[in-house]
Structure 1
Amino acid sequence: MLGFLWARQSGLDSPIRLTRAETTRRVLSLELNKDRDVESIHENGVNTLDIEHVEGRYMLSGGTDGVIVLYDLANFSKNLSYTCKSLCKVGKGHPDVHKFSVETVQWYPHDTGIFTSSSFDKTLKIWDTNSLRVAEVFHFDGTVYSHHMSPVATKHSLIAVGTKNPKVQLCDLKSGSCSHILQGHRGEVLAVCWSPRYDYILATASTDSKVKLWDVRKATGCLLTLDQHNGEKSKASSEAANTAHNGRVNGLCFTSDGLHLLTVGTDDRMRLWNSSSGENTLVNYGKELYSGSKDCKVLAWVPALREPVPDEDSEKPGSRAHLNPAFDDAWSSSDEDG
């Protein structure tokens, strides 16, 4: 780190390299928290988590058995080590419990008095947190894989919903009806996400290997279809041939500033896109990852340190052979000036 600081101070290196090195260091330093535990309530796997942004205190979890649990993350014990307790749950005996696996839970972005959940039982439910009762239910023809509310919208209250149907459905929280649909995908829509920068921009991912960006204000809707090859593989090909991954695209999210979009697919690839131009930035990621399983736990993993190569160069202090490979600057240089 001192080397990065010296290079930056002397003008030999770009300031962005220091930022990337520190970000990578922090990611690789993640480990299981030895002082905090979460009360075990789910009897089956945990599919989805969401922490509200108003206080950052309450967390929702949804399980494969249809159960939803609300946790309080605050520490009132005055002890260093503590367990986050559950406040309440929508369990099997609840009249409004989901019949099948809960795939997504989300707090209403501006008020913890409301949260939402969607399930394989083909429903999206709007909940009153205080009474723990359903205020509204949206029914769909196919399995619901994902839903999302805009974190910044003030002029609309649309919930984007991805289902087994290729059409993306937009449900209006105020009217209680589906306002309109977005057509363009040819497979099941597995993930949807609103931009945190523009309240009318939506990203969707599908089993057709495509990721699309939409402007929901426009009649045509689709702004562009992301192309992993940035048009270089076949300049003569139509947009219909553009794919974001070589397989199903089952996850996506915007960066906090909304300038980039991160996608993951069943091709074991994670890609970072310029959300304005749709360009694949060609960032090469390391192998840090999180895993969730039927044991009801979420674990963080990091690569093991690389064993030093027994040669003359590897014995020198500061040799790259002594470094974890994820510390190498594997970022694309395309945005060095950005």
Structure 2
Amino acid sequence: MLGSIFARQAGLDDPLRLRRAESTRRVLSLELSKDKDVEIIHESGISTLDIEPVEGRYMLSGGSDGFIVLYDLENCSRKQCYTCKAVCSVGRSHPDMHKFSVETVQWYPHDTGMFTSSSFDKTLKIWDTNTLQPADEFNFEGTVYSHHMSPVATKHCLIAVGTKSSKVQLCDLKSGSCSHILQGHRQEVLAVSWSPRYEYILATASADSRVKLWDVRKASACLITLDQHNGEKSKASSEAASYFLELLCCIVLTANTAHNGRVNGLCFTSDGLHLLTIGTDDRMRLWNSSSGENTLVNYGKVCNQSRKGLKFTVSHGCSPEFVFVPYSNTIAIYTIYSGDLVTMLRGHYSSVDCCVFQPHFQELYSSGRDSNILAWVPSTREPEPDDASEKCLNPAYEDDWSSSSDGEG
């Protein structure tokens, strides 16, 4: 580490390398914060969280009680132990409160003056943060499972909405109406996500086991339907006709499916080059977002018992990058491109439904059915191996954090 600092000061090394190494170290040392608590406001489970991308200071939460709460994550007390207080909330006394569970909240990507929320009450609401009043509202025929605004769009203001209908709705903030509909799924759409790289590319996941990539500018908008088998056909045995027929039926049923169950989680990597999906078949898959190819990274069993959308997240600025996945009442951390399970974060008393990463300080926030929001922060102490045989570093450190590379700096 000291070698990297000296090399950076001498201009012999790229400052980005040191930043990535420190970001990686901080993620690998995440632990439940002993000094930071988040005020308990929700009366039941918390389904969704979002941290605004401008300052990384304010966080929204939405619960199954219909509440929306806005938190200030900054330590305004300047004390070592502090509680992140709720700045304001849309609760039972608010006339425009959602009637049922709030499934998704999202900040407007470019400033904190607006945020959005969608709910099982079949509505998507656009909120003015300053007045805490809805500026606009979209109503749908079925339950709303998920919505998303593009983090990079400059030429459109479309919100993609996944509902109980098999059609993906695109709502235009400028006109206040649904601009057009994307048809192709056969069952309800459980998750939607815009690419962080291309403003017109959208990914959608459905209960029909399919994941589709769309270019919303085109008339036939569907670009790719992801196929877990990458188009390969299994060879049937010529010795048994019954086995052949059974295998053929299997191929037909699983053709162009991303998972062998409902797909209820989507997340692009921070550079937008890959897409992660999670299904109720207890599998997570990594896809090339340009070619649609299954990269065949093996994450092992990823427990997923959720019947609705599952919100997971990825790191930013690390080497390698990590994915944080709700796993029963824990959060599993995997390396994205190798599939290694790094650690499990334990602290919740019930199932975890959502986690969100704060890239400015490499912090993680999680929520679940125990009504708690937990803060996971980098440890302030260095791990000390008990003996020489335990001095092997986590494989994720090897590229940028090994003692040998530090010495060479």
TM-score, shorter chain, exceeding 0.5: yes
RMSD of aligned Cα (Å): 3.0
Q: Distance in 2 between matches of 1:289 and 1:87?
A: 31
Is the 1:225–1:239 contact (alpha carbons within 8 Å) kept by the matching residues of 2? no
| Deviation string, structure 1 residues 259-287 (Cα, Å, up to 9, x no partner) | 11111111111111110111111222345
Q: Which residue type is aligned with residue 278 of structure 1?
A: G
- Once the two structures are overlaid, the 10-residue window that deviates more, 291-300 or 36-45, is 291-300
Pick from 234, 241, 263: which aligns with 1:249? 263
Q: Distance in 1 between matches of 2:66 and 2:344?
A: 26
1:107 aligns with 2:107: yes
- Once the two structures are overlaid, the 10-residue window that deviates more, 237-246 or 171-180, is 237-246
Q: Which residue of 2 aligns with 1:222?
A: 222
Aligned ranges 1:1-338 → 2 under 5 Å: 27-234=27-234, 241-284=255-298, 285-287=339-341, 288=343, 291=352, 292-298=367-373, 318=389
Q: Distance in 1 between matches of 2:371 and 2:265?
A: 21
Q: CA deviation at 1:296?
A: 1.2
| Deviation string, structure 1 residues 191-214 (Cα, Å, up to 9, x no partner) | 000001000000000001111000
Q: Distance in 2 between matches of 1:289 and 1:46?
A: 20
Structure 1 pair 319/289, CA: closer, same or farther in 2 (3 Å)? closer
Q: CA deviation at 1:234?
A: 4.7
Q: Which residue type is aligned with residue 295 of structure 1?
A: D
- Once the two structures are overlaid, the 10-residue window that deviates more, 236-245 or 217-226, is 236-245
Structure 1 pair 234/27, CA: closer, same or farther in 2 (3 Å)? farther
Is the 2:63–2:102 contact (alpha carbons within 8 Å) kept by the matching residues of 1? yes
Structure 1 pair 252/289, CA: closer, same or farther in 2 (3 Å)? farther
Q: Which residue type is aligned with residue 258 of structure 2?
A: A
Q: Distance in 2 between matches of 1:112 and 1:21?
A: 30
Q: CA deviation at 1:26?
A: 5.3
Q: Which residue type is aligned with residue 73 of structure 1?
A: L
Q: Distance in 2 between matches of 1:328 and 1:268?
A: 29
Q: Which residue type is aligned with residue 29 of structure 2?
A: S
Q: CA deviation at 1:90?
A: 0.2
- Once the two structures are overlaid, the 10-residue window that deviates more, 190-199 or 229-238, is 229-238
**How many residues in Structure 1 have an aligned counterpart in Structure 2?**
299
Structure 1 pair 208/326, CA: closer, same or farther in 2 (3 Å)? farther
Q: CA deviation at 1:22?
A: 9.1
Q: Distance in 2 between matches of 1:38 and 1:46?
A: 13
Structure scoring higher RCO (CA < 8 A, sep ≥ 6) equals 2
Using structure 1 for the length normalisation, give the TM-score: 0.80
Q: Distance in 2 between matches of 1:300 and 1:247?
A: 32
Q: Distance in 1 between matches of 2:264 and 2:223?
A: 20
Is the 2:38–2:375 contact (alpha carbons within 8 Å) kept by the matching residues of 1? no
| Deviation string, structure 1 residues 85-133 (Cα, Å, up to 9, x no partner) | 1010000110100000000000000121110000000000000100000
Q: CA deviation at 1:233?
A: 3.8
Structure 1 pair 325/266, CA: closer, same or farther in 2 (3 Å)? farther
Is the 2:254–2:260 contact (alpha carbons within 8 Å) kept by the matching residues of 1? no
Q: Distance in 2 between matches of 1:165 and 1:277?
A: 27
- Once the two structures are overlaid, the 10-residue window that deviates more, 100-109 or 73-82, is 73-82
Q: Distance in 1 between matches of 2:42 and 2:177?
A: 32
Q: Which residue of 2 aligns with 1:7?
A: none
Q: Distance in 2 between matches of 1:238 and 1:298?
A: 43
- SS at 2:196's partner residue? coil
Structure 1 pair 325/207, CA: closer, same or farther in 2 (3 Å)? farther
Structure 1 pair 267/23, CA: closer, same or farther in 2 (3 Å)? farther
- SS at 1:124's partner residue? strand
Using structure 2 for the length normalisation, give the TM-score: 0.67
Q: Distance in 1 between matches of 2:196 and 2:393?
A: 36
Q: Distance in 1 between matches of 2:370 and 2:225?
A: 38
- SS at 1:31's partner residue? strand
| Deviation string, structure 1 residues 161-198 (Cα, Å, up to 9, x no partner) | 00000000000001000000000001110000000100
- SS at 2:159's partner residue? strand
Structure 1 pair 289/106, CA: closer, same or farther in 2 (3 Å)? farther
Q: Which residue type is aligned with residue 98 of structure 1?
A: H
- SS at 1:44's partner residue? coil
Q: Which residue type is aligned with residue 268 of structure 2?
A: F
